Structure 1
Amino acid sequence: YRLVADSAEPAGFNPSYRFQHDRVQQAAYALIAAQRTSEVHLFVGRLMLRHVGDAVPDDRLIDIVTHLNAGRPLIESGDERLRLAHLNLRAGIRAKRSAAYESALDYLRTAASLLPADPWCRMPELMRTLARESQQCAYLTGRADEAERWTEQMLERAQTDLERSDILATRTRQYATLGRMEESILSAIQGLLLLGVELTQHPSADDIAVERRRVEENLRGRRIADLVDAPPVEDAETLMAMRLFMETFAAAFLSGSGNLFPYLVLKAVNLSLRHGNCPESAFAYAAYGMLLCGELDDPAAGYQYGKVGLAINERLDDIALRARVIYVYAMFIHHWSNAWSSLTPWFRKGIEAGYQTGDLLYLAYSAQDCVIWDPTLDLETAYRRHAKNMEIVRECAYQDSLDSGTLFLQLQRNLLGLTDSPFSLGDDEFDEQACLAGMRQRQFMTGISNYHIYSTEICLLYNAYDRALEHVRMQDALVKSAMSLPQLVRYAIVSFLTLSSCFTQLPENDQPAVRRRLERDLAQMTRWADNCAQNFRHLQYLMEAELDRLDGARESALESYDRAINAARDSGFLHDEATASERAARHLIALGRERAAEGYLRGTHHLYTRWGARRKAAMMENEFPFLREMLHGARATIAGNGETWDLDLASVMKASRVISGEIVLSRLLKTSIEILLENAGGEWGCLVARREGMLTVEASVTPPNNDRCGDNVPRSAWVTLTQGGELALPVTLISHVLRTGEALVLHDATRGG
């Protein structure tokens, strides 16, 4: 009845009506002749618009616009078309805020189509807003050409240098996302020059030194933590300059542009120190923390600046830049001072912030690195989670991030035995040479750096030292492209192990320089370990072991390998524990101590198997056949329930490592039992042998209540200790094992024994 034109009911009373069911609505709609649908939509839209009045509420906006758009070919009035254009602009902005970018772009395109001729002259304010929103939505939906057309229109119509700089800042970010790094950098520099910022496009080391001195001068005795409380930036030009600096950081870093990245970061930091804080200051301080952790080799100070960046972002409640501030902190700062296993929650925060703001660049970054640095994950789990996160990267359509994440995915596939060969990252679905060529064409130097680091890692793992050395030599020229990244740490250890493995085969003229490099790398790793022992101490010990080995300090090398193994285990670095164990085993083999090496080899094989490195485990079984035999012999079937158990051999490896420190046999036996009990989770145990037909306890860890249980144990269960005394044992079970020579594992020894 509300559709009756002469209804006496006041327009202010405006109830909502719904069809009882969608099918009822569809049936009613089907009754309308096709040629009249536009007319009906227009009639309904106009009626709804008349009832809401001049101010269309947000909750009715989309319904009204949908009806009017369906009937817009019938609208002839210029004023009505202009009003509908305004409504579509509002609808587009509303949809964009809800991350419905496709719908937003449709509304904005409709708004543009409803405007009269020469709209930039007749309604410039409307066009500036429409152009800005359309440009961003075109970019966010992957329509780069359409976004570029809007950008050119805005630059042509901009009234001031400040407005042009704002447009160039947006272009800088979008070019970086599209992998157009050089163009991204040039856009930012162009915008900064418009604002009167003095800078050089090709800074020297002296330029960087000047900016570093200015940082110290501009601090003026303040503590780093005090920077959070700096006053806000007041002038618009400084705010815009900070935005341009921030937008160019990614392109300057990823393109391997030499001194440009640190120079731009220092420029931005000095601007903030002089003028105060703004949202971009959070990113600038985080980026400076990144510099300190990497190129400037001061991770403790870098960590402080990183925390300042996070705090400023929270203080200003700035969600717009949160994804990038979090990513820079997590990827370049956090892991230098905190456990690597704590990185994933930070990246998840970055993903959430990226989705909230449409920051596709840093959304892709956070997704590509979210789970890959957690050393506690086995390969299969890490691969599965990383593959799922790569779906997010594909949605962002950022090729550099896609290549970077895919390279790590292929590294995981190699370790799982799924690539074409042990020394390749390629398979049926991934052409590594094509990927490498594309990265070179785009000048994505960080991606190329990652390729050589991962290739070094697999060649080293499979003992192809000459191949690994080739990648080390190529990566040496790209080391700045891995600045502050976790990849830099991996490169530090794999390049060290490659050079130490090849050292004796190098030309004699090269050996002194390589030796000096190894000592420098050890000194650097020691500094890192002093800052965060949990992440780096085991690598320091491994490097020390390698240098001891090269120096012929055999026992000292073995002790250092053991320290590396223990430290890696304590820190949860399963991969590095396996590496240190294998290096120790091969050290013993080189000394002709094959029997002593067997315990390490068993432990190494077990660690690689636990990690999920199937290809490496299989290669070890081929090289050392006893490992395959051990696998078949290390299974015991529990009678009565059909369950099969794999005996954990980590205890064997650990026992072999302490043998050298246990010269007294009785002490050695007791230590071995303690290690076995620790591994099995047992409270007490013993080593029983048959001597002259009698059971004898050679060594034992006595049960805590042994002195109180004698009254309830038959005399036949007491067994003599070689050290004197007696111990109550399940003699029947022990005799069965001694007689059959088979392992026996009971699900519940208190009942089954």
Structure 2
Amino acid sequence: MDETQRVQSHRTVAEEFIQHFTEEEVEEHLFSIVQHLNVAQSLLTTSEQQGLIKWNRKAGDKAKRAAAFEAALTFYQHSFHLFQADKWQADYDETSKVMLGYGETLYLNRNFDEAEAIFEEVLVHARTNQEKLSIYNLKIQLYTYIHEVKQATNAGLTGVGLFGLTIKDHPGKALVAKEYLLTKLALGKKNGEDLLNLPAVTDDNQRLIMRTLINTNAPTYHVDQNLATILMLRALRLTIKYGDMDLSALVYNNYALTLSAGFGDYNGSYQFGKLAIQHVGDSGDTALEARVYFVFGSFVNHWKQPIRYNLDYLERSQQLSVETGNLHLAGATGAFIGLTHLLKGDNLSEVKEGIERQITLAQVNEFVISSDFLQEILDWIAVLSEPDRQPNWEFPDLTDDMSVAIMHKTLRLQMSFLLNNQSEAVTLMEELEPIVDKMMVLIIAPEYFFYQSLWLTKLLTKCEIPKKTAYKKLRRNVKKLKKWATHAPVNYLHKYLLICAELEKLANNEVKAGRYYHQALQHAEENEFLQDMAIANHCAASFYLSINLPKTAKSYVTEAYNSYIAWGSGSYCTTNER
């Protein structure tokens, strides 16, 4: 069989399938049919080749729905290369479908520049605002994936602006308060069941606007958190007004984040977080589930439940993200998985193993922000666990993302305390103070206020800080730690009690101080925070030495040593003088 006969046989097979198969059978064998037609392309007439555009587009759509993104891209490319120069005039609807599918799968296969060029061409030829907003949504996803968060935010605001929804790009707290009040009024006395039973949204424009607000929220969180808050509050108001949709789970989810991180309403946050999980569970949409579980595991759960439960939600989110092709979310989730392992007091060798797995995933998906943060944790674990490893306090420049800066610098503040580097601690506290106050409360925030408080009490003991300034900060910190301890004692009560003990030590209230040290250690041990057990034992030892009880102090030093060994830090922390 020569080449011409081989190509003709492919055409014959495809035509036989199309002629004799039912519609359902054609759909079942769609990939095979299209592949036969593509091989026989040279034998097709111009008219038949134009029909082949649609066949490839349908195959691309099917492959994309199955998350077979490389195959989908191949099919869309066939359609694209079959286009004539007048494609937009010849068949606008089919051209638009092909171009959108092509652009999206280029993006999903990390061909970002080509994807952006395709989206720009579609935007130029779009006929309606609804079509344009759909394209802006795809651009938001593209920019978010490559962490061009400002461009993603601008795309979202430009898109909703087409429908007269004008939102300031840098709103102040007064506008946030106004939007929050309007949202509370819109909610009224509605409970979770009422929201789950909202009628379905019927206005296609409003559905698309709500989708855009939700998609824009994620990148906007890294640009301007007041703006991110307003986007989510507005999305909730629109949901209440126009009805329920598939993405309503994300509306409730992000409202939960806003309540906890922005307004300190941890009970309301947990309720809306659970509502989001119930809503997305009913929908069966695994891509949405990934996003809901990520927010619940990163921003909501630990304010009411054990922090170790975060991992259940985060690992499920990451699994679903990979399955559905959301590699950006999978990478972001990895940073929180690694951090959660560290925060909950796992043995450092186990933390290391978990982080190494996450770094591999982050590097494969080119998610630099996660891999950089996880690598820094690994570097500190090496310092804590390897006797010959010296700390390096010289760090590369961070991105201008304040959330990322807080994560890195709070980790360094913790290490400055464990390694007793006072000068580094003072610098870090000066850098963190102004940005922590501007940001929503992150999972790492309690660590910042905890270690800042430990340093402040130490500096007060040494008379190396103005008392008025230090005590003002300590009063604020204790208030925050007490609130977190009230809502999630399993995670934060021992931290609050230890700072109370340190303050009573400063006030020479020996009985109260001793009681608080004992309670802090008891709760840290009950909840298996090994690193905090070690710190509390060291602090207690220092206290008993200060009141001339060296034998009692020695027992706490021994316990501190044992805790550090159990944690996996057998080098610096066990030998450093506090």
**Structure 1 counterpart of 2:318:** 351
**Structure 2 counterpart of 1:447:** 404
**Structure 1 counterpart of 2:490:** 534
Distance verdict in 2 for CA 1:419–1:214, change over 3 Å: farther
Equivalent residue for 1:576, pick from 529, 532, 538: 532
**Structure 1 counterpart of 2:386:** 417
- Alignment of 1:385 onto 2:354: yes
The Cα shift of 1:391 comes to: 2.1
The Cα shift of 1:156 comes to: 0.7
State how far apart, in whole Å, the 2-side matches of 1:411 and 1:263 are: 38
Q: Map 1:679-690 to 2 at 5 A.
A: none
Distance verdict in 2 for CA 1:419–1:172, change over 3 Å: farther
State how far apart, in whole Å, the 2-side matches of 1:157 and 1:253 are: 31
Contact 1:96/1:104 (8 A) holds in 2: yes
SS at match of 2:571: helix
After superposition, give the CA deviation of every residue in 1:296-350 in whole Å (9 maximum; x if it has no partner).
1121111111112222222333333221111111110011111111111111221
State how far apart, in whole Å, the 2-side matches of 1:504 and 1:329 are: 40
State how far apart, in whole Å, the 2-side matches of 1:579 and 1:502 are: 16
The Cα shift of 1:421 comes to: 2.9
The Cα shift of 1:158 comes to: 0.9
State how far apart, in whole Å, the 2-side matches of 1:419 and 1:301 are: 49
Amino acid at match of 2:65: R
Distance verdict in 2 for CA 1:578–1:330, change over 3 Å: same
Equivalent residue for 1:45, pick from 10, 14, 24: 10
The Cα shift of 1:559 comes to: 2.0
Distance verdict in 2 for CA 1:243–1:380, change over 3 Å: same
- Alignment of 1:467 onto 2:467: no
Q: Calculate the TM-score normalised by the size of structure 1.
A: 0.72
**Structure 2 counterpart of 1:66:** 35
The Cα shift of 1:258 comes to: 4.6
**Structure 2 counterpart of 1:634:** none
State how far apart, in whole Å, the 1-side matches of 2:539 and 2:193 are: 44
Contact 2:225/2:440 (8 A) holds in 1: no
The Cα shift of 1:388 comes to: 0.7
State how far apart, in whole Å, the 2-side matches of 1:121 and 1:413 are: 63
State how far apart, in whole Å, the 2-side matches of 1:194 and 1:537 are: 49
**Structure 1 counterpart of 2:59:** 91
Amino acid at match of 1:514: A
The Cα shift of 1:47 comes to: 1.7
Q: What is the RMSD computed on CA atoms of the aligned residues? A: 2.3
Distance verdict in 2 for CA 1:570–1:225, change over 3 Å: farther
Distance verdict in 2 for CA 1:252–1:582, change over 3 Å: same
Amino acid at match of 1:495: Q
* Gapped regions of structure 1 (runs ≥ 5): 1-31, 427-431, 625-753
The Cα shift of 1:115 comes to: 2.4
- Alignment of 1:496 onto 2:453: yes
Distance verdict in 2 for CA 1:44–1:401, change over 3 Å: farther
The Cα shift of 1:366 comes to: 2.1
After superposition, give the CA deviation of every residue in 1:627-646 in whole Å (9 maximum; x if it has no partner).
xxxxxxxxxxxxxxxxxxxx
- Alignment of 1:219 onto 2:187: yes
State how far apart, in whole Å, the 1-side matches of 2:536 and 2:307 are: 19
State how far apart, in whole Å, the 2-side matches of 1:302 and 1:170 are: 29
State how far apart, in whole Å, the 2-side matches of 1:238 and 1:447 are: 33
SS at match of 2:262: coil
% identical equivalent positions: 23
**Structure 2 counterpart of 1:139:** 107
State how far apart, in whole Å, the 2-side matches of 1:62 and 1:288 are: 42
After superposition, give the CA deviation of every residue in 1:560-584 in whole Å (9 maximum; x if it has no partner).
1111111011112111111111111
State how far apart, in whole Å, the 1-side matches of 2:178 and 2:293 are: 29
Distance verdict in 2 for CA 1:71–1:90, change over 3 Å: same
Aligned pairs, number? 572
Contact 2:11/2:40 (8 A) holds in 1: no
Contact 1:41/1:67 (8 A) holds in 2: no
**Structure 2 counterpart of 1:680:** none
Contact 1:403/1:447 (8 A) holds in 2: no
Equivalent residue for 2:368, pick from 399, 407, 432: 399
Q: Map 1:635-714 to 2 at 5 A.
A: none
- Alignment of 1:487 onto 2:444: yes
**Structure 1 counterpart of 2:522:** 566
Q: Map 1:616-635 to 2 at 5 A.
A: 616-617=572-573, 619-620=575-576
**Structure 1 counterpart of 2:547:** 591
In terms of Rg, which structure is larger?
1
The Cα shift of 1:40 comes to: 4.4
* Gapped regions of structure 2 (runs ≥ 5): none
After superposition, give the CA deviation of every residue in 1:481-504 in whole Å (9 maximum; x if it has no partner).
763322112112111112221124
After superposition, give the CA deviation of every residue in 1:341-367 in whole Å (9 maximum; x if it has no partner).
111111122112212322222222223
State how far apart, in whole Å, the 1-side matches of 2:387 and 2:360 are: 20
After superposition, give the CA deviation of every residue in 1:616-635 in whole Å (9 maximum; x if it has no partner).
35535xx69xxxxxxxxxxx
**Structure 2 counterpart of 1:268:** 235
Distance verdict in 2 for CA 1:225–1:307, change over 3 Å: farther
Distance verdict in 2 for CA 1:356–1:181, change over 3 Å: same
SS at match of 1:614: coil
Equivalent residue for 2:278, pick from 286, 300, 311: 311
- Alignment of 1:477 onto 2:444: no
The answer to which structure, 1 or 2, has the higher relative contact order (CA under 8 A, 6+ apart) is: 2
Contact 2:407/2:444 (8 A) holds in 1: yes
Q: Map 1:291-306 to 2 at 5 A.
A: 291-306=258-273
Distance verdict in 2 for CA 1:261–1:50, change over 3 Å: closer
Contact 2:500/2:516 (8 A) holds in 1: yes
Distance verdict in 2 for CA 1:348–1:551, change over 3 Å: same
Distance verdict in 2 for CA 1:474–1:40, change over 3 Å: farther
Amino acid at match of 2:15: R
Distance verdict in 2 for CA 1:178–1:603, change over 3 Å: same
State how far apart, in whole Å, the 1-side matches of 2:31 and 2:245 are: 35
State how far apart, in whole Å, the 2-side matches of 1:554 and 1:466 are: 29
- Alignment of 1:368 onto 2:338: no
Contact 1:465/1:501 (8 A) holds in 2: no
